[in-house]
Structure 1
Amino acid sequence: MKKTLMASAAAMMMTTGAWAQDVGVSMALFDDNFLTVLRNGIQEMADGMDGVDVQIEDAQNDVARQLDQINNFIASGVDAIIVNPVDTSATEAMTAAAEAAGVPLVYVNRQPINVDSLPDNQAFVASNEIESGTLETFEICKILRAQGKGDGARAYLMMGELSNQAAVQRTKDVDDVIGMDMCNFIEIIDRQTANWSREQATNLMTNWLSSGEEFDAVIANNDEMAIGAIQAMKAAGLDMDVIVVGGVDATQDALAAMQAGDLDVTVFQNASGQGSGALNAAIALANGEEVAQKVYIPFELVTPANIDGYLNQN
């Protein structure tokens, strides 16, 4: 199905005859900086719409809890559902439950395993993860070359939750870039998951530092892990002017770390735009309008050279 998503709430207001009244939203986790911005994007969009109410619930990183929330939304008669999946490999049951009940469902940010076979009244709104890790790693490659490390550089790779499609794709992006002729001088010394967590990344980086291995860069699947790595390195007295660190999301904490000279590169993922886009899609589907089944909001590279344009984005 190739259909067209309306670009803004204003456009929808002109073309939609009736608003969906209730939208149930299940977020994978409230206690996450990026997902908080996404959740706020949904809420702020709803607050600006007449007659639209959103009920946002925290799945607390529990797949069973999330499926219960979706079934409860269906039983309560919501007009549409938005899901930020806990485990992207466990989305088939959610798709099936919503399809059986005839309730439109929109996945946001994390790609469902069945994205290429979603029913007509379901969609996926996110950014294309092929861009994220590619932009991050290619920029790190350029920085290392500029530092004169083109004859050999060593890097640690921090991965997100291994059950999450974004972590899988961003890690593949890293490997793909390092496989390129101009970047194949980079060696990944070790790769481990820190589950998107700043605290877990601090612990992981501390363990790596205790090994005494020499390294030149840390490539993280997200900003929270990059910040955790930075905290461990600074606690150990490492010179952050020498170690290259990259992340993804361009959260406010990450931008502050970049301004401090600790983070070298991040990639802006428009969390608020994904949230508002998901709500637009959910309402359009609930009102019988045509929506693209895959709606991508572009990633954007952020470095110290262009950081000023992103300081108030999230």
Structure 2
Amino acid sequence: MKKKLVSLFLAATMTCSMIAGATTVFAEDNAEDTTAEETVELAEPSTDEGYTIGISVLNLTGQFFIQLVDAAQNEADATGCTLMTNSCDSDSAKQITALENFISAGCDAIIVCAVDSEAAKPVIAKAKEEGIAVVCLTSTVDGYDAYIGCEEYVLGYTQGCAVGQRIAEMYGTEEEVQAATLNYDLMESVIARKEGIIAGVQEYAPNVKFVADATAADQEEGMSNTENFLQANPDLKVVCGVSDGAALGAYQAFKAAGMTDSEQYLIAGIDATDEALKLIDEGTIYQVSVSQNPTATGKALVDTAIAVVNKASYPKDSLFDLQAVTSANVKDYITE
């Protein structure tokens, strides 16, 4: 049950002062193609057909993962593959069980967004012993064949800089502006994302004071925690979420409180999901997101898994091409 690789994704490199060395980047359509720093070249491709690929993500409530898995499913269908999907609800034990099930089911490849990279090491080692290709998303696990993700700090910093610039336009850089963060500190790698947000905001708006912080995995938690923020901090003006899912909940909480003036309030997220883009385009208080292009990423994950199993060439490590999305460029990201 093997299938030829139908398509390989385009890779490009980007240089960033925060990232040591060059790495492969998923580029926008108008980006310049360059050669990957490390490309794995294997033997001639197999001619068998019908790969089975397992994918385990943190959840299927956040819009980023919903869109990513939908795109992965579409690509699997287009290439004649079977996709087995797992949402582990950010529970490492559940994820490990799912990965073991993928191995037992005879998957040719596994795509995993690891809740706990250290805890996943033994089951990934078992997969490799069975000859199963392993493609990691967001965080790496020892023994992986390919990685697609981003520098978490830079991801947060990209949002933070755009937010800081907008706050400076709204309030200047002297008047104190209260802000809050919706984090996902349950994953160590995402802690750096929040740190990047704060650093980026304060670089352009040093007058911002972060007065509240809470964990939010999805819109429901984002709304509930933001309601608590507003009760404790009635002067709160800004909420920065580490995902659009969490930030959309903050938007709903502000809206319910009648805080809808985009010259006074600002909500920001990450992922550039369809709902977030719509709100940015409409000129609401939801004013910033960061594009990781979940649709292109979902497709690339499947194509990369096929390339590894098919013994074709593929980039070992790839980074998203991160772009802050605001009212100035949101039209470039909305698809009809």
The answer to whether the Cα contact below 8 Å between 1:198 and 1:224 also exists between their aligned partners in 2 is yes
Within 5 Å, give how 1:272-311 maps onto structure 2: 272-311=295-334
Match of 1:230 in 2: 251
1:55 paired residue among 84, 90, 93: 84
Match of 2:4 in 1: none
Deviations 1:48-101 (A, max 9, x none): 114x22222333433222212211221222211111334455332332222232
2:123 paired residue among 87, 94, 99: 94
Match of 1:7 in 2: 9
Gaps of 5+ in 1: 9-14
Within 5 Å, give how 1:170-185 maps onto structure 2: 170-178=193-201, 180=203, 182-185=204-207
Match of 1:111 in 2: 139
- What is the TM-score with the length of structure 2 in the denominator? 0.79
2:60 paired residue among 19, 30, 38: 30
Match of 1:257 in 2: 279
Deviations 1:198-254 (A, max 9, x none): 111111111121124423321111112222112111211224321122111111111
**Alignment coverage as a number of residue pairs:** 296
Helix, strand or coil at the partner of 2:286:
coil
Match of 2:185 in 1: 162
2:221 paired residue among 200, 207, 212: 200
CA distance in 2, matches of 1:40, 1:129: 23
The answer to whether the Cα contact below 8 Å between 2:56 and 2:86 also exists between their aligned partners in 1 is yes
1:40 paired residue among 67, 70, 74: 70
Gaps of 5+ in 2: 1-6, 11-43
Q: CA deviation at 1:267?
A: 0.8
CA distance in 2, matches of 1:43, 1:176: 37
Which AA in structure 2 matches 1:104?
A
CA distance in 2, matches of 1:215, 1:56: 39
Helix, strand or coil at the partner of 1:150:
coil
The answer to whether the Cα contact below 8 Å between 1:152 and 1:187 also exists between their aligned partners in 2 is no
Percent identical across equivalent pairs? 22
2:242 paired residue among 221, 230, 252: 221
Match of 1:12 in 2: none
Question: Does structure 1 residue 188 correspond to structure 2 residue 210?
Answer: yes
Match of 2:34 in 1: none
CA distance in 2, matches of 1:30, 1:272: 15
CA distance in 2, matches of 1:153, 1:256: 30
Match of 1:11 in 2: none
CA distance in 1, matches of 2:255, 2:227: 10
Helix, strand or coil at the partner of 2:171:
coil
Deviations 1:152-199 (A, max 9, x none): 33333323321224521211202332453x4322221122222x2211
Label 1:210 to 1:282 Cα distance change in 2 as closer, same or farther (>3 A): same
Which AA in structure 2 matches 1:7?
F
Q: CA deviation at 1:6?
A: 4.3
Which AA in structure 2 matches 1:61?
S
CA distance in 1, matches of 2:112, 2:297: 12
Match of 1:244 in 2: 266
The alignment yields a C-alpha RMSD, in angstroms, of 2.6
Label 1:190 to 1:28 Cα distance change in 2 as closer, same or farther (>3 A): closer
CA distance in 2, matches of 1:225, 1:79: 34
Label 1:281 to 1:224 Cα distance change in 2 as closer, same or farther (>3 A): same
Deviations 1:264-293 (A, max 9, x none): 111111111111111111111112234333
CA distance in 1, matches of 2:207, 2:86: 46
Which AA in structure 1 matches 2:333?
Y
Label 1:152 to 1:111 Cα distance change in 2 as closer, same or farther (>3 A): farther
Which AA in structure 1 matches 2:97?
D
Which AA in structure 2 matches 1:111?
S
CA distance in 1, matches of 2:62, 2:165: 30
The answer to whether the Cα contact below 8 Å between 1:125 and 1:294 also exists between their aligned partners in 2 is yes
Which AA in structure 2 matches 1:56?
T
- What is the TM-score with the length of structure 1 in the denominator? 0.84
